[in-house]
Amino acid sequence: MHTFDYEKSGHELLTPKTVNLLNAVHEAKGRQNVQLQISPDLAEPLVSVARIQSTDASNRIEGISTTNKRLAGIVSEKVAPRNRDEEEIAGYRDVLKTIHENYAYIPLKPNVILQLHRDLFRHTPLAFAGHWKDTDNMIVESDGTGHARVRFTPPSALQTPELMAAACSDYNKANDAGDIDSLLLTCMFVFDFTCIHPFNDGNGRMSRLLTLLLLYRSGYEIGKYISIEHLIEQSKATYYEALAASTAGWNENTNDYAPFVNYLLSTILVAYREFDERAAAVSTPISLYHPTTKKQRIADVLNQSLSPLSKADIQQTLPDISTSTIERTLKTLLNAGQIQKLGAGRSTRYVSLHREKK
């Protein structure tokens, strides 16, 4: 059976690549604290956008979705779920809200993880909510031709309670000792949680929620403002590759944490850099003689982007501009022939026809 020694494993992870990532995240955290002090009004619109993106992306990774309109209504608690997918989306919304508002009072313990899992499925009639798995499971992946193969066989259901207790205990022991960077501890625990695969369903979503919980408890609140789940969805192929690389030999205690740890640290760093960009976009001084209108700022975002953007992308970049203003501006730019609309529905994107030439 797998054993945990986060202090030993944490020291082994201190390669130049990982140390550079840790230092970059530490510096970015400092910049974020300063930016929020300078522009406190920046927080609220970013939080609103990130909550929707996080709820949407984490569920969509698992094939759970609804329309954009229904999603916004569910996240804002203005509409009730009307099918199984929406019930699970509402559950994610609830747990995300609990973590955002109460993380300081949510310790990493097996019974707490069970309670969060119970709440993840609170809107469903599923009997397994809040209980460890009662049957053995497998992690299966499909190739491009639709053929499935077993990527990893997690430990048995009988071993699960003991493994979860041991993982939580060793994490807390290492964290209390303070010798290992809390970011490394977060990445290692989340990876081990994924390998144990302790539930009949909801393991992926729980792993992402626990990532936020442990980051927040360690002082890294970036997930409140920039959706880490959205970034994971955008890099899903790399995410699964990192999981696979670190999983090899896990049951025999010969696995290498580095691929997954470096992936997650890189994703956290990307989130901080996106926060820097959002802060710069909102706080850029406006000249009294050449005022920058909201329409021009939206056009500038499209002009400067190397790839097509959705309305959600634009709102995340310019969180102080309302959705209705963005929609009106996009319509105006379309009618003026300045941008082109690509796709339809949830996949709609916009690209500038007058992109700046660098």
What string of DSSP letters covers 257-301?
-HHHHHHHHHHHHHHHHHHHHHHHHHH----SSS---HHHHHHHH
Tokens of 28: 């970015």
Is the whole model's pTM more than 0.85, yes or no? no
What string of DSSP letters covers 154-205?
PPPTTTHHHHHHHHHHHHHHHHHHT-S-HHHHHHHHHHHHHHH--SSS-HHH
Domain boundaries, the chain: 6-281, 291-352
- Which of 53-57, 86-90, 308-312 has the lowest average pLDDT? 308-312
Cβ neighbours of 163 (radius 10 Å): 23
pLDDT digits (tens, 9 = 90+) for 165-203: 999 999 999 999 999 999 999 999 999 999 999 999 999
Q: Are 221 and 29 in contact (CB under 8 A)?
A: no
pLDDT of residue 355: 58
CATH number of 6-281: 1.10.3290.10
**Beta bridge mates, 140:** 150
The answer regarding whether domain 291-352 maps to CATH 3.30.450.20 reads no
291-352 shares the fold of 6-281: no
pLDDT of residue 283: 57
Distance, in Å, from the CA atom of 354 to the CA atom of 304, rounded to the nearest integer, reads 10
pLDDT of residue 303: 85
pLDDT digits (tens, 9 = 90+) for 295-324: 888 888 888 787 888 888 887 777 778 888
Residue (of 299, 291, 303, 356) closest to 328 by Cα position: 299
* 353 — pLDDT class (breaks 50, 70, 90): confident
* 357 — pLDDT class (breaks 50, 70, 90): very low
Q: Are 224 and 274 in contact (CB under 8 A)?
A: no
